[in-house]
Amino acid sequence: MYDMKEAKRILIVGDVMLDIYIKGEAKRLSPEAPCVVLSGCSSPTSKLGGASNVAYQLSENNVVSLCGRIGDDHWGNEILRIAQKEHISVANLIIDSSKTTTKTRYISNSNHQLLRVDEDTINGIPEETICKIIEEIIAGSYDAVVLSDYGKGVLTDSLCKSVIDSCNEAGIPSIIDIKHSPYNKFRNATLIKGNEKELRELGIFLGIEGTDTFNLLKSISLFLDCRYAVVTLGKNGIAGYSKNDGFIEIPATDIPIHDVTGAGDVVTAFITVLLANQISFEEALRLANNAAQHKVSQFGTSRVSFDRICSPCPKLINDVSDILKNRLDKKIVFTNGCFDVLHAGHVDLLLKAKNLGDILVVGLNSDSSINKLKGTNRPINSFENRAKVLSALNCVDYIVKFEEQTPYDLISKLTPDILVKGGDYTLDTIVGADIVLNNGGSVTTIPFTVSTSSTNILIQLGYE
């Protein structure tokens, strides 16, 4: 676990909006037009979006203040309700007669987005509010400031220049989530971040269309005189340029992608708090990339836990409901074991198990469970060390600890589509086979192709 020391005080300034979701059944096409008919729609559910989603991502472990503009209407009140629930300060939030910016998504039961309807309000914030937040920055009220630009008018030239200058005067980082021109308003910021499309457009503005990612980021850093430039590359991961460290590229792993909504906000939030905690730029990129991958495996603008991503074992979860709510139409494969002395046979089994479905969940015996099963001299490796090793395998998506001698209760909660065990098991000896089969799933044994075992290894070492 990284030492995040104490909670950081972070100000987010930008375009505040609300993401609204309406879910229904999409079983047929309309006879009147080439479109889907959505029936049995649920009541709208809502989540913070835009700059307020960055605030939401940061509010788990930090003291967060949000500055922007919303309407004195139903959806504006919903933003205030959620902000209060998440302990986000709205003292610098302007509420007026304009409409709240919303993005309403119509979703099928299989979580496919069918239509998005936007209600946009283009509006700035009063000069007195700008003066107030500038005074707060200079007075040392914040440890970092984020400017989150969604092109809705809050981030004017004068606001951006004043905020960035004040951050530099106060000696705190300013992180910019860029949208589009004008770009000069972001000069002298600590870090500029955008997706590939946004930064390629900036590259065209600079006259460097078609250049490679390294030269693109370096050119942006030089043009805007920022210490860091970062681009999110979707399925290809993330890349960054630092004036001190040069070019850094972090690839993504092959994971199921359910929904990219809010992934950029997650990256912004992670980079902000990591830089505020003086974590190295390369490590900040790596952790932000991991957080983005975790986000896209979930539906909607869900929060990504800093504690989990920054943990030495980020794939370890306490509650299988985290898996089930993101199950969608993906096949869950489950296997279990002690994995006390991980060897080639284990890896072969896990790789083949992963190939049977989309999400591989590994049930891992606790130390006390192994002690009861194998004797007082086991396990050799602690649960934390065994979980950390399994987390390093790309084929493993989740690890769940169980205290019992068998994973029967865990399987009953998870109800996987496919239950996998090694070739030395038969159907009648596989714990949980009845649960899986009764739920329409399948049970598979995978023959051993590697002639080894933990016990044999320990015997050769003279341990047993």
DSSP-derived pairing of the beta strands 174-177 and 191-195: parallel
Distance CA 149, CA 296 (A): 21
Q: Which range scores top for mean pLDDT: 75-84, 282-291, 294-303, 388-397? A: 75-84
Single-letter code of the amino acid located at 218:
K
Q: Is residue 348 within 8 Å of residue 431, measured between CB atoms?
A: no
pLDDT per position as a tens digit, 219-263: 999 999 999 999 999 888 999 999 999 999 998 876 666 667 788
**% of the chain exceeding 70 in pLDDT:** 92
Per-residue confidence at 452, pLDDT binned at 50, 70, 90? low
Q: What string of DSSP letters covers 52-111?
A: HHHHHHHTTTSEEEEEEEEESSHHHHHHHHHHHHTTEEEEEEEEESSPPPEEEEEEETT-
Q: Sorting pLDDT into bands at 50, 70 and 90, what band is 209? A: confident
As a whole number of angstroms, the distance between CA 204 and CA 276 comes to 31
The pLDDT assigned to 373 comes to 87
Tens digits of residue pLDDT in 384-428? 899 989 988 888 989 999 999 899 999 999 999 999 998 888 888
What's the pLDDT tens digit per position in 85-126? Answer: 999 999 999 999 999 999 999 999 877 889 999 999 888 899
pLDDT at 447: 85
Q: Which residues contact 106 (CB under 8 A, 6 or more apart)?
A: 22, 23, 24, 38, 41, 113, 114, 115, 116, 117
pLDDT exceeds cutoff 90 at 324: no
Alpha helix locations (H) across 86-211? 127-138, 157-170, 196-205
What's the pLDDT tens digit per position in 259-275?
677 889 999 999 999 99
Element (H, E) at 323: helix 321-324
Q: Which residue type does 300 have? A: G
Among 13-27, 72-86, 380-394, 407-421, which stretch is predicted with the lowest mean pLDDT? Answer: 380-394
Q: Angle, nearest 10°, between helix axes 281-296 and 263-276?
A: 150
Q: What average pLDDT score do residues 358-385 get?
A: 89
319 is catalytic: no
Give me the mean pLDDT over the 321-337 stretch. Answer: 81
Please tell me the distance from the alpha carbon of residue 160 to that of residue 224, in angstroms, as a whole number. 13
Residue 279: HSE in the Cβ half-sphere, 13 Å Cα cutoff: 21
Distance CA 261, CA 361 (A): 25
**pLDDT for 258:** 64
β partners of residue 14:
148
Higher pLDDT, 109 or 284: 284
| Catalytic residue selected from 19, 149, 259, 265 | 265
Would the pLDDT of 462 be above 80? no
What six digits make up the tokens of 40?
């049995």
Name the one residue in this structure whose structure tokens are 């030492």: 3
d(C-alpha 147, C-alpha 154), whole Å:
10
User: Distance (Å, rounded) from C-alpha 90 to C-alpha 234?
Assistant: 32
- Looking at the DSSP bridge assignments, the partners of residue 359 are 332
Predicted pLDDT of residue 141:
95
- The predicted-structure confidence for 166-192, as pLDDT tens digits, reads as follows 999 999 999 999 988 899 999 999 999
Which residues 6+ apart lie within 8 Å of 88 measured at CB?
A: 52, 55, 56, 59, 64, 65, 66
| Side chain identity, residue 336 | N
3-state secondary structure at position 385: helix
d(C-alpha 257, C-alpha 62), whole Å: 28
Give CA–CA dist 265/53, Å, rounded.
7
Share the mean pLDDT of the chain. Answer: 89
pLDDT in tens, 38-57: 999 989 999 999 999 999 99
Please determine, for residue 332, whether its predicted confidence score (pLDDT) is greater than 90: yes
Q: Measure the CA–CA gap between 37 and 181, rounded to whole angstroms.
A: 39
Q: What does the angle CA 94 – CA 98 – CA 104 come to, to the nearest 5 degrees?
A: 100
What is the distance between the alpha carbons of residues 144 and 51, in angstroms, rounded to a whole number?
A: 15
3-state secondary structure of 51: helix
pLDDT at 111: 77
pLDDT, average across residues 372-384: 86
Tokens of 362: 């590994």
The encoded tokens of residue 434 equal 């009845």
Measured between its terminal Cα atoms, the distance across the chain in Å is 34
Higher pLDDT, 441 or 299: 441
Per-residue model confidence (pLDDT) at position 263: 87
More confident of the two residues 380 and 139: 139
For the ranges 402-411, 424-433, 441-450, the lowest mean pLDDT is seen at 441-450
